[in-house]
Amino acid sequence: MSMISAPSLLSNSLWVLGLAGVLATFSYMSWLRGVRRWSWRYTLKTPVFLTPFTCSLFLFSGGIALTGLFSGAPTPWWQTIAWSVLTLLFGVQTLAYAWAGRQGGWDAPIEGKNNHE
């Protein structure tokens, strides 16, 4: 049995916060799509959904990677590297979606036709 340490508390808090962010994003977008009468297909293409969703996945995967580093039990090195690569990719995606939202509008779909299908 191991004691709670600051690094393990931080890493576990990150992945829990990321998971809560994913759930909150879907909850908010469910409400917003009802108000704006969007389909889920349309909603899942917009930066207003994709930016917080990928940011939450960034926090989740980063927390899992750090948990592997700070856990008391040995974690295979390849798992920590895989989660770290996912963290990097989700971070890049978050920035790309935020940029697309600022350039083309938060409600405009990133791909496909600009209709409310």
Residue 114 lies in a domain: no
Residue pair 8/67 in contact by the 8 Å Cβ criterion: yes
Distance from the first to the final alpha carbon of the chain: 54
Q: How many domains does the chain have?
A: 1
Q: Which domain holds residue 19?
A: 6-104
DSSP 37: T
Vertex 20 angle, CA 14 and 22, to 5°: 105
Residue with tokens 């960034």: 58
Q: How far apart are CA 44 and CA 116, in angstroms?
A: 12
* pTM: predicted TM-score of the whole model, two decimal places: 0.88
Which pLDDT does position 61 carry in this prediction? 97
Q: What is the pLDDT of residues 3-43, one digit of tens each?
A: 778 888 899 999 999 999 999 999 999 999 999 999 999 99
Q: What is the pLDDT of residues 36-58, one digit of tens each?
A: 999 999 999 999 999 999 999 99
